[in-house]
């Protein structure tokens, strides 16, 4: 997308925007600081989210999907051009192997992109792999399987170093499907021992992020099933190990914001995989089902991090981890980034002083009024203003559609391409 097209589009819509912006801005006390924070805030895009996702029942491939890593990077570049808030990409290896890291880095830099955490994959058997992960990887009863999985993670760190990344993100599908299948303590000890070997291979300035998930693909137990188990591992491993919160990896109605608040307090919060869900790990568009929960999470983040400032520089990982089964992935990702920034902006509007007062007085109704006054503010013009000030588009999806970007991608790449990923 050329800058000229963005500027033309903004020019056409500026009057309308200004009217809406002035209306909301009038009531925002810390307007400059809110806008600056919104301008600085970026969310990483996973390389596996640029193609159409699927379920085990089918996959309905969309047109013009990226056929290789370079094309995935150029799609992220397009998103970043439009919203100025997606300046990094997170690779999943081996779905995306950066054979020539120098060239890949240079290609990404052309779009102003860098590399976020690298993700390992020990939940699928790779072609020519000696050992199978059918019964797990880092927790496996057989040392040879564990060694293969450890070596893969160390290889992923090496790719990450070449790309300028500084975190390894580990999600294990390890668990059991039936009672009696597994000795829980041995499985946990094996996982710890394997992670210790991976931890030892981390460069000084690196972190390892440990993701948890209660079920799927195993349906009786998961060896890193909840934040307690992840936190236990992270605290035994040391300072460089932290707990990653994927919003979809909780049983229904879990109070995720409370988990976030405590991990933050313990300086053990690695960051997020953002998505939304109604039932389980649905991987739906962020904010599409429960935007209030997202706001409450950001409220904890703003409250817990205000002294440190809330952006990538603080070391927290912000990433989307969603699957786009029926929408154009680029549009879906733009919507997700927007939803995250809306929740962040609303949290920045919370009258913290008044909330502390209400909490001290146990004034429950007032505390709710304060939170919901912020949540019910339409902050979209603030986000649009932040985009305008950084050269992005006032309305990214409208412009993307006006320019018929998907049609030209189909023309370039074909109508039946299939991107690697889930």
Site membership for ligand LRH, residue 250 (CB under 6 A): no
Q: How far apart are CA 198 and CA 169, in angstroms?
A: 11
Site membership for ligand LRH, residue 246 (CB under 6 A): yes
* Residue 116 interacts with, from Mn ion, ligand LRH, none (CB under 5-8 Å by kind): none
Candidates 42, 119, 190, 293: give the one binding ligand LRH (CB under 6 A): 119
CB nearer to ligand LRH: give 277 or 293: 277
**Cβ-proximal residues to 254 (8 Å cutoff; 6+ apart), any chain:** none
**Cβ-proximal residues to 56 (8 Å cutoff; 6+ apart), any chain:** none
Binding mask 300-339 for Mn ion (x = CB under 5 A): ---------------------x------------------
Give the shortest CB-120-to-Mn ion separation in angstroms.
12
Give the shortest CB-211-to-ligand LRH separation in angstroms.
5
By CB under 5 A, what part of segment 257-276 binds Mn ion? 273
CB nearer to ligand LRH: give 211 or 276: 211
CB nearer to ligand LRH: give 293 or 393: 293
Burial of 195 (0-12, 13-18, 19+ CB in 10 A): buried
By CB under 6 A, what part of segment 265-304 binds ligand LRH? 273, 281
Number of residues in the chain = 422
Give the shortest CB-90-to-ligand LRH separation in angstroms.
9
CB nearer to ligand LRH: give 246 or 328: 246
Measure CA 283 to chain center. 11
CB nearer to ligand LRH: give 153 or 299: 153
- Give the residue from 205, 203, 208 showing the smallest Cα distance to 242: 208
Binding mask 317-356 for ligand LRH (x = CB under 6 A): ----x-----------------------------------
| Structural contact between residues 88 and 82, judged by C-beta atoms closer than 8 angstroms | no
By CB under 6 A, what part of segment 31-90 binds ligand LRH? 48
Q: How far apart are CA 149 and CA 304, in angstroms?
A: 36
Site membership for Mn ion, residue 226 (CB under 5 A): no
Number of residues that bind ligand LRH (CB under 6 A): 10
| Structural contact between residues 119 and 91, judged by C-beta atoms closer than 8 angstroms | yes
- Give the residue from 5, 20, 24 showing the smallest Cα distance to 374: 24
Residue 138 phi, psi dihedral angles, 5° rounding = -70, -20
List C-alpha distances in Å: 352 to 304, 339, 349, 366, 370: 11, 22, 8, 12, 9
CB nearer to ligand LRH: give 61 or 124: 124
**Cβ-proximal residues to 75 (8 Å cutoff; 6+ apart), any chain:** 50, 66, 329, 330
* Residue 300 interacts with, from Mn ion, ligand LRH, none (CB under 5-8 Å by kind): none
- Give the residue from 134, 114, 214 showing the smallest Cα distance to 171: 214
- The residue ranges that bind Mn ion (CB under 5 A) are 246, 273, 281, 321
- The residue ranges that bind ligand LRH (CB under 6 A) are 48, 119, 171, 211, 213, 246, 273, 281, 321, 422
């Amino acid at each position: 997308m050329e800058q000229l097209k963005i500027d033309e589009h903004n020019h056409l819509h500026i009057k309308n925007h200004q009217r809406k912006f002035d209306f909301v801005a009038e009531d925002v006390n810390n307007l400059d600081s809110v806008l600056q924070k919104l301008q600085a805030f970026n969310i990483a895009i996973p390389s596996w989210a640029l193609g159409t996702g699927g379920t085990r029942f089918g996959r309905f491939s969309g047109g013009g999907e990226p056929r290789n890593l370079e094309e995935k990077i150029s799609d992220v570049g397009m998103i970043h051009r439009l919203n100025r808030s997606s300046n990094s990409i997170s690779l999943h290896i081996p779905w995306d192997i950066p054979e020539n890291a120098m060239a890949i880095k240079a290609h990404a830099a052309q779009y102003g992109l860098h590399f976020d955490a690298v993700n390992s994959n020990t939940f699928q058997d790779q072609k020519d792999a000696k050992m199978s992960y059918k019964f797990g990887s880092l927790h496996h009863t057989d040392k040879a399987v564990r060694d293969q999985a450890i070596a893969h993670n160390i290889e992923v760190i090496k790719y990450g170093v070449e790309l300028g990344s500084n975190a390894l993100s580990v999600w294990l599908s390890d668990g059991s499907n039936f009672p009696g299948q597994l000795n829980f303590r041995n499985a946990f000890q094996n996982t710890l021992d394997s992670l210790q070997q991976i931890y030892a291979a981390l460069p000084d300035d690196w972190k390892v992020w440990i993701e948890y998930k209660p079920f799927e693909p195993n349906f009786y137990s998961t060896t890193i099933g909840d934040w307690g188990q992840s936190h236990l591992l992270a605290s035994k491993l040391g300072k460089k190990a932290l707990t990653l919160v994927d919003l979809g990896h909780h049983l229904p109605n879990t109070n995720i914001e409370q988990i976030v608040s405590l991990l933050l307090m313990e300086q053990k919060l690695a960051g997020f995989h953002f998505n939304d869900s109604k039932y389980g790990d649905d991987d739906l568009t962020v904010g599409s089902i429960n935007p209030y929960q997202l706001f409450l999470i950001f409220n904890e983040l703003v409250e817990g991090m205000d002294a440190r400032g809330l952006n990538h520089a603080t070391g927290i990982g912000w990433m989307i981890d969603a699957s786009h089964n029926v929408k154009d992935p680029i549009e879906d990702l733009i919507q997700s980034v927007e939803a995250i920034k809306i929740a962040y902006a609303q949290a920045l509007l919370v009258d913290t002083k008044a909330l502390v007062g209400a909490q001290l007085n146990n004034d429950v109704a007032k505390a709710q009024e304060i939170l919901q006054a912020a949540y019910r503010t339409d902050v979209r013009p603030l986000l649009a203003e932040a985009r305008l000030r950084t050269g992005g588009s006032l309305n990214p999806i409208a412009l993307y559609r006006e320019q018929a970007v998907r049609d030209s991608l189909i023309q370039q790449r074909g109508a039946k391409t299939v991107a690697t990923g889930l």
